[in-house]
Amino acid sequence: MKVAGTIDEIRSAVAEARLAGSRTVGLVPTMGALHEGHYSLIDAAREGCDFVVVSIFVNPAQFGPGEDLQTYPRPLEADLAGCRARGADAAFVPQVEEMYPPGAVTTVHVAGLTARLCGANRPGHFDGVCTVVAKLFNIVAPDVAYFGAKDYQQAVVVRRMVRDLHMPVRIEVCPTVREADGLAVSSRNVRLSAEERAEAVALAESLRLAQKMVEAGARGAAEVLEAMRRQLDERAPCGQVDYVQVVDSESLQDVEEITASVVAAVAVRFASVRLIDNMLLTPPRSPKA
């Protein structure tokens, strides 16, 4: 596996691969601290593309003041070993100064979608995400890029950016990988105390409760949200709920009635660790009403 530390190096590696016959290039953009969620994306890229690039870059622009940029884990050697083991062809590990040269002032903004859910609590976060993803796409020129469904809003926002700007890349969104008890895997899980870790499963439980209610015929979002909130309060007393919402899967607007496919999304803070999760709620084909 090629480890490219500069933009020129990764561009050369991709160009060489294309010259050597690789017809499709897949990109898995990550901030490192790789876990089974990321590895499932690398597996999907390995399955779908001839040449697989994993980018590892803790993107300062998507962290707000007071967020965990400084303490975000950076286990580079383990990450590279993981990429190698899962069959990546190249890892792109740029420096901040190269991704954001002095005087860089350009941002990509997806209006509306980014003001909701996580965007409401993390102003500028999605501008940072879109901007770095646009840079990575321009550098690597992938045919396909892989994102995890756990960061649901991110996937919707990136898809919209790609569509609106006519970027020549296909976005694949891969299913959330979960621990045995249902907790969505996340680089931040390791920073939970034992007690918090035990409570954190409440996020996934509240989503499953919502899905069960919808399967049993519930259609009112208010009713579902109230049950989810109650369960989070009971099962995760150390957690502080950022939001619990039921939104349209494309527009991310709140829905009142669960008639088509909607997404339930939750964000909960445990001390300095903020966890998110979501689930598509699909009413049965023949509704009771």
Give the nearer residue to a second copy in terms of CB position, either 51 or 126: 126
Residue 105 in contact with a second copy, rule: CB under 8 A: yes
Cα–Cα distances (Å) from 195 to 181, 188, 189, in that order, read 14, 15, 12
Residue 130 in contact with a second copy, rule: CB under 8 A: yes
Give the nearer residue to a second copy in terms of CB position, either 161 or 202: 161
Q: At what angle do helices 125-140 and 7-19 cross, to 10 degrees?
A: 50
Q: Mask of contacts with a second copy, 216-235, x by CB under 8 A?
A: --------------------
Residue 30 in contact with a second copy, rule: CB under 8 A: no
Residue 108 in contact with a second copy, rule: CB under 8 A: yes
CB 72, min distance to a second copy, A: 23
Phi-psi region of 141 (alpha: psi -120 to 50; beta: other; left: phi over 0): left
Catalytic (active site) residue 38: yes
Give the nearer residue to a second copy in terms of CB position, either 166 or 285: 166
Distance (Å, whole) CA 174 – CA 149: 6
Q: What residues contact 269, with CB distance under 8 A and at least 6 apart?
A: 239, 240, 241, 242, 275
Give the nearer residue to a second copy in terms of CB position, either 109 or 212: 109
Pairing of strands 262-270, 240-248: antiparallel
Site size toward a second copy, by CB under 8 A = 31
Give the nearer residue to a second copy in terms of CB position, either 137 or 270: 137
Q: Which residues pair with 56 in a beta bridge?
A: 30
Residue 107 in contact with a second copy, rule: CB under 8 A: yes
> What letter represents residue 94's amino acid?
P
Backbone angles phi, psi at 244, to 5 degrees: -135, 120
**Contact between 253 and 247 (Cβ < 8 Å):** yes
CB 235, min distance to a second copy, A: 37
CB 122, min distance to a second copy, A: 18
**Residues constituting the chain:** 289
Residue 141 in contact with a second copy, rule: CB under 8 A: yes
DSSP per residue, 131-151: HHHHHHHHHH--SEEEEETTS
User: Which chain residues interact with a second copy by CB under 8 A?
Assistant: 7, 11, 99-101, 103-113, 130-131, 134-135, 138-139, 141, 160-161, 163-168
Q: Which residues are catalytic?
A: 38
